[in-house]
């Protein structure tokens, strides 16, 4: 498999994001597999932003380590990106705006192109210089400019002929610039694919499984889910922007209580506000899916950077005890299926399910072959049949498996009050005036045990709450969870190429864990823990569940997404010592 990595770097407002999106469309249309990741800041103009797009003739798991083509739209781009350039990298720049004296012309293929001139001459609009640069990049990769034509017509057709023609003329002039020739030996397979980010895949997956209600307050990097639902409101799903995250989770609980599939989502800061509501869903036994897309640090942190440091917080958030499921999808494609699965698990076990994403997974774009819409059906769990002439309904019946049939307002004969206080089988309180009286002490014990016993039922029925292993016979293993599984997968490839036999252990489910099975899987293996946080939270979870201490660790917490090269290099060092 070969790949080419392009990075467009400029200031906010220079159109980096739209150029990146355009390049991804063109490359996908040309049958390349793509992986795109943005580096940006919480400002609207200025600063330094970049979009890295990697194209390949095989499945990609990361945006790559170094840069093969740099589109430097300003001087900062040279300064900030030069340390990331691979040898022989093509550097596209405009000599009227940018000087490249700090770059070694023997080491890099410096390609001056009058981008601004082209833009102004062909379209009259200086901002179009990034399109001229895209045209040149297509020339270096060897993508037919005709594909660009098609994509532009599809993307901008509605905006009228001038926009379409301007784009095509500018890109073509860039493509035909002197010095631009095919420089990489790579070819797409011509197969049609979709390009999507993790937020969209998660939202889309949930939608296809009948999610009818999404409530949220905007917060990066979860806002993409909010925008997805906002944009698709006309397709049978209600989106509600709320006054805060407290309202978001409580509205979703209200909607779920009424019997529709409901979700809410946020990042760590908003999740902090949702915590009391999470416990409410646990107590009321209301099915609820919460997406938590992590960013860097406590409080406001680095709003536009990634991390995996909310794991223990999410697992232990809220006072008291109640069953919950914590999942962490490991790729964009898996986000789609987790969107479906989380809703089923929530309704089957009548408990909150938290889906842990992070900025890297939420916002990076991947090409996917397509989705199997039927592989995961819709399971609404136990629902009682209307019973107009029966006695009072035991909504919280002490059932053997801990799951009691639900009813929804509107169903005759199944009325009950759903209480956040501890309660008996009918939902009557055993708190306040009644607490401490023997029979109610006994009821608290029984009701709490009933709820908690759902964990045993999950473990028994689902047979999925343990890590997955690839290359069981390997000498060493990388162990990780969620989004880091992707760069780790690619790192394994690098290590194997270097003659080391390394396997991968990944956690998609983090809570609950089948302790026996997890221990059995991990036992006897030389393991390196890889995660994006300071305290090795996954290793902590593993120790708590199995007693095993994974002390070899690769930890990253600078906010940038971990890359395969970083993992492979550090892993190789550790492996030497592990021998």
**Candidate residues 84, 232, 382, 517; the one interacting with another protein per rule CB under 8 A:** 232
CB 508 within 8 A of CB 327: yes
Which span (167-175, 231-239, 354-362, 473-481) binds another protein, by CB under 8 A?
A: 231-239
Q: Which of 492, 495, 491 is nearest to 565 (CA)?
A: 491
Question: Which residue's entry shows tokens 């990042």?
Answer: 267
Q: Interface mask (CB under 8 A) for another protein, residues 467-506, using x and -?
A: ----------------------------------------
Interface positions, 505-564, toward another protein (CB under 8 A): none
Closest distance of CB 453 from another protein, Å: 24
| 405 is a site residue for another protein (CB under 8 A) | no
Closer of 121 and 146 to another protein (Cβ): 146
Interface positions, 273-292, toward another protein (CB under 8 A): 276-277, 280, 284
Closer of 405 and 565 to another protein (Cβ): 405
| C-alpha pair distances (Å), 163 with each of 13, 156, 259, 463, 545 | 19, 7, 47, 54, 59
At residue 196, the 3 state secondary structure works out as: strand
| 155 is a site residue for another protein (CB under 8 A) | no
Q: Which two tokens stand for residue 317?
A: 């958030």
| 392 is a site residue for another protein (CB under 8 A) | yes
- DSSP per residue, 86-137: EEEEEEEE-TTT---TTS-TTTSEEEE--HHHHHHHHHS-GGGHHHHHHHHH
CB 75 within 8 A of CB 100: no
For the chain, give the number of residues: 579
Which span (15-23, 210-218, 465-473, 491-499) binds another protein, by CB under 8 A?
A: 210-218
Closer of 22 and 262 to another protein (Cβ): 262
| 251 is a site residue for another protein (CB under 8 A) | yes
Q: Interface mask (CB under 8 A) for another protein, residues 73-112, using x and -?
A: ----------------------------------------
**Alpha carbon distance 21, 422 (integer Å):** 51
| 31 is a site residue for another protein (CB under 8 A) | no
Which span (78-86, 207-215, 503-511, 548-556) binds another protein, by CB under 8 A?
A: 207-215
| 383 is a site residue for another protein (CB under 8 A) | no
**Candidate residues 5, 172, 404, 418; the one interacting with another protein per rule CB under 8 A:** 418
CB 223 within 8 A of CB 198: no
Q: Which two tokens stand for residue 489?
A: 């997968």
DSSP H or E run through 228: helix 223-231
At residue 553, the 3 state secondary structure works out as: strand
| 179 is a site residue for another protein (CB under 8 A) | no
Closer of 435 and 501 to another protein (Cβ): 435
| C-alpha pair distances (Å), 487 with each of 108, 366, 369, 512, 561 | 26, 13, 19, 25, 9
Q: 221: number of CA atoms within 13 Å, CB side?
A: 31
Closest distance of CB 172 from another protein, Å: 23
Interface positions, 255-274, toward another protein (CB under 8 A): 255-260, 262
| 354 is a site residue for another protein (CB under 8 A) | no
Closer of 81 and 318 to another protein (Cβ): 318
- DSSP per residue, 159-177: G-HHHHHHHHHHHHHHHTS
Q: Is the peptide bond before 554 cis (omega within 30 degrees of 0)?
A: no
Closest distance of CB 78 from another protein, Å: 34
| 253 is a site residue for another protein (CB under 8 A) | yes
What does the buried/exposed string (b/e) look like for 385-405 if buried means 16 or more CB atoms within 10 Å of the residue's CB?
Answer: eeeeeeeebbbbeebeebbbb
Closer of 218 and 412 to another protein (Cβ): 412
Q: Which two tokens stand for residue 343?
A: 């809703």
Closer of 154 and 182 to another protein (Cβ): 154
Closest distance of CB 445 from another protein, Å: 21
Sheet holding 288-294, edge to edge: 238-241, 211-216, 261-266, 288-294, 352-358, 325-327, 509-511
Which span (79-87, 404-412, 443-451, 456-464) binds another protein, by CB under 8 A?
A: 404-412
Interface positions, 322-351, toward another protein (CB under 8 A): none
| 435 is a site residue for another protein (CB under 8 A) | no
**Alpha carbon distance 219, 196 (integer Å):** 20
**Candidate residues 108, 148, 207, 322; the one interacting with another protein per rule CB under 8 A:** 207
**Candidate residues 11, 302, 398, 429; the one interacting with another protein per rule CB under 8 A:** 429
| 252 is a site residue for another protein (CB under 8 A) | yes
**Candidate residues 13, 298, 390, 409; the one interacting with another protein per rule CB under 8 A:** 409
First vs last Cα of the chain: how many Å apart? Answer: 30
| 208 is a site residue for another protein (CB under 8 A) | yes
Which residues contact another protein by CB under 8 A?
A: 28-29, 192, 194-196, 200, 204, 207-210, 212-213, 215, 232-240, 242-244, 246-248, 250-260, 262, 276-277, 280, 284, 370-371, 373, 378, 392, 408-421, 427-429, 432-433
């Amino acid at each position: 498999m070969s790949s080419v990595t392009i990075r467009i770097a400029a200031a906010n407002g220079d159109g980096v994001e739209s150029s990146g999106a355009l390049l991804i469309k063109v490359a996908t249309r040309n049958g390349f597999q793509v992986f795109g990741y943005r580096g940006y800041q919480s400002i609207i103009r200025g600063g330094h932003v970049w979009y890295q797009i990697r194209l390949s003739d095989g499945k990609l798991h990361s945006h790559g380590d170094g840069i093969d083509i740099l589109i430097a739209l300003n001087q900062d781009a040279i300064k900030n990106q030069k340390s990331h350039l691979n040898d022989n990298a093509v550097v596209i720049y405009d000599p009227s705006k940018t000087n490249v004296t700090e770059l070694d012309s023997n080491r890099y293929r410096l390609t001056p192109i009058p981008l601004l001139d082209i833009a102004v001459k062909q379209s009259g609009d200086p901002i179009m210089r990034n399109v001229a640069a895209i045209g040149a990049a297509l020339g270096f990769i060897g993508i037919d400019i005709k594909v660009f034509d098609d994509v532009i017509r599809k993307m901008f057709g509605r905006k009228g002929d001038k926009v379409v023609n301007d784009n095509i003329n500018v890109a073509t002039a860039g493509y035909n610039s002197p010095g631009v020739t095919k420089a990489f030996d790579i070819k797409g397979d011509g197969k049609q694919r979709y390009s999507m980010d993790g937020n969209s895949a998660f939202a889309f997956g949930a939608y296809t499984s009948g999610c009818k209600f999404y409530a949220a307050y905007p917060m990066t990097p979860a806002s993409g889910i909010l925008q997805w639902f906002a944009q698709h409101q006309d397709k049978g799903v209600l989106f509600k922007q709320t006054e805060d995250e407290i309202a978001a989770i409580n509205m979703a609980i209200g909607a779920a209580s009424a019997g529709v599939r409901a979700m809410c989502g946020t990042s760590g800061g908003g999740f902090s506000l949702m915590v009391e509501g999470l416990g409410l869903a646990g107590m009321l036994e209301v099915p609820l899916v919460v997406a938590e897309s992590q960013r860097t640090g406590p409080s406001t942190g680095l709003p536009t950077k990634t991390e995996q440091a909310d794991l223990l917080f999410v697992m232990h958030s809220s006072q008291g005890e109640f069953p919950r499921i914590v999942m962490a999808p490991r790729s964009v494609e898996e986000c789609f299926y987790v969107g479906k699965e989380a809703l089923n698990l929530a309704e089957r076990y009548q408990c909150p399910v938290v889906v842990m994403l992070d900025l890297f997974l939420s916002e990076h774009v991947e090409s996917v072959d397509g989705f199997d819409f039927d592989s995961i059906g819709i399971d609404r769990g136990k629902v009682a049949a209307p019973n107009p002439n029966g006695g009072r309904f035991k909504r919280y019946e002490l059932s053997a498996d801990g799951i009691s049939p639900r009813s929804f307002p509107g169903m005759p004969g199944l009325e009950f009050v759903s209480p956040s206080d501890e309660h008996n089988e009918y939902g009557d309180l055993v708190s306040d005036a009644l607490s401490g009286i023997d029979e109610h002490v006994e009821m608290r014990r029984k009701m709490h045990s009933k709820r908690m016993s759902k964990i045993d039922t999950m473990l028994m029925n689902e047979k999925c709450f343990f890590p997955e292993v690839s290359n069981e016979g390997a000498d060493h293993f990388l162990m990780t969870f969620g989004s880091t599984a992707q760069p780790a997968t690619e790192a394994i490839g690098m290590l194997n190429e270097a003659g080391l036999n390394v396997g991968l252990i990944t956690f998609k489910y983090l809570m609950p864990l089948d302790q026996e099975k997890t221990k059995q899987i991990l036992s006897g293996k030389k393991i390196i823990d890889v995660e994006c946080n300071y305290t090795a939270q996954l290793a902590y979870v593993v120790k708590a569940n199995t007693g095993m201490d994974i002390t070899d660790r690769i930890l990253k917490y600078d906010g940038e997404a971990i890359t395969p090269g970083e993992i492979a290099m550090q892993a190789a060092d550790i492996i030497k010592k592990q021998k």
